Amino acid sequence: MDSARTDQIIDKHHCEPSSLIQVLLEIQAENHWLPREALERVAARLQVPMTRIQHIATFYKAFSLVPKGRHEIHICMGTACHVRGAQRVLDTVQNMTGIKPGETDLDLKFSLETVNCLGCCALGPVLEIDGKTHGKMAPVETANVLKNYE
């Protein structure tokens, strides 16, 4: 992310230190992660210590300090999904992408996370890619959905 775009986001929030989290969320949305250069620019422009920014960026799960894939995959491992075969869905995704939960592939195409609940238990097992929910998944359906993102 170039510093001009970072500045646009900061200016949109009138350089208010109280807008720090919103600024970080917008940077994260555009980059899929928080580059160090962008964080340094935010610290300087908002006059917020870098330690505070690091604390916030590591506290909230929504933020990542390492590059993420273009497609973020979340697999629900909550009770309802688990008993309906979420592990098989996870195994299929891992086999097709070559990554485990918490990892990103080398091409920065996919990032994989498991979550405790996506809030749609009746659709379990649930797979979410880029915010789009896919319910009642089985290994074959999982493979077909993933192929749409290649």
CA-based R_g, the chain, Å = 18
In this prediction, residue 1 carries a pLDDT of 67
- All CATH 3.40.30.10 domain ranges of the chain, comma separated, are 71-147
pTM of the model: 0.78
C-alpha torsion angle, residues 86, 92, 95, 99 (rounded to 10): -40
Q: 71: closest CA among 91, 99, 95, 92?
A: 99
Q: Tokens 């999904």 identify what position?
A: 81
Pair 38, 27: CB distance under 8 Å: yes
Name the phi and psi angles at 42, rounded to 5. Answer: -60, -45
DSSP state of 123: G
Query: Fold for domain 71-147?
Result: Glutaredoxin (3.40.30)
Q: What is the mean pLDDT of each run of 10 residues along the chain (150 residues)?
A: 89 94 94 93 96 94 89 95 97 96 93 94 95 95 92
